[in-house]
Structure 1
């Protein structure tokens, strides 16, 4: 697979993860449940009867989805990729601490699937841009364009005088 096709496929993967986060946000508002709800004898037990935790998780999921959408569109900029990496790390920490350390959630599909999805995406987001060297090429192109635009502006300024 060529590098360009691999990058487009990975951008699609990141968009898929962002779409899953938007689904989590919608589900947390419609169903008023989050992964922090426990299932005891097939009955949902909610820690927060006001569903505040669910709404906060929904807003966090929207924020993370926006960060990942920007990361998909502007993957050639290091700060944007850094923002995506940070949002994925925070989500991994959230899922693992709430399940293992605080025991606020049980180990179920709503915890395991997003956790694995985020770990795989984080690994790809760290590995692929470095392997494909997209930052090295784009920095040179950007410097070249900046130099070109600067000399073009100077020429037009001289012609006008």
Structure 2
């Protein structure tokens, strides 16, 4: 059961990474982001979409971090990297909306925050709950068996050195 839950959660993380890649593509194609209220009075046409491109490239970086987290979830530092990227994303969305008032509280803010909050809760809880980072007990028994077998082979090969 635990293996199925972990595979399902890895699929969830991959889905969140896919959503971030969609955000990046939308930022470049539609030239808009959740911060579409800013830079409307820029002189040049390209200046209007700078923030959209920055959000797009950040979304690509976050998606890459989450893809690595999906593939290497059994390593603590990689999970920590995924957790940090999610925390930074939630902080970005909430501060730009609630503190700086650069965006309105709409679907483009609420949906990513909820999605990232669920993923953050899963990354904080599931690896510890499923004991992914605990060393397996079988390794000790296997190592003892291999060492015993190796010592027996060494004795057979070199009977002079052992005496």
Query: Normalising TM by the smaller chain, what interval?
Result: 0.7 to 0.9
Query: Any stretches of 5+ residues in structure 2 without a counterpart?
Result: 158-163
Q: Which has the larger radius of gyration?
A: 2
Matched length: 145
- Structure 1 residues 139 and 129, CA, compared in 2 at 3 Å: closer, same or farther? farther
Give the structure-2-normalised TM-score.
0.79
SS state at 1:134 partner: coil
Cα distance between partner residues in 2 of 1:57 and 1:68: 16
Structure 1 residues 77-111: Cα deviation after superposition (integer angstroms, max 9, x where no partner): 00000000000000000000000000000011100
Cα distance between partner residues in 1 of 2:8 and 2:74: 15
Give the structure-1-normalised TM-score.
0.80
Deviating 4+ runs (over 3 angstroms): 44-49, 137-141
Cα distance between partner residues in 1 of 2:68 and 2:136: 17
Query: Any stretches of 5+ residues in structure 1 without a counterpart?
Result: 39-43
Which of these residues, 76, 79, 83, is aligned with residue 78 of structure 1?
76
RMSD in angstroms over aligned alpha carbons?
2.8
Structure 1 residues 35-79: Cα deviation after superposition (integer angstroms, max 9, x where no partner): 0014xxxxx984766211000100000000000000000000000
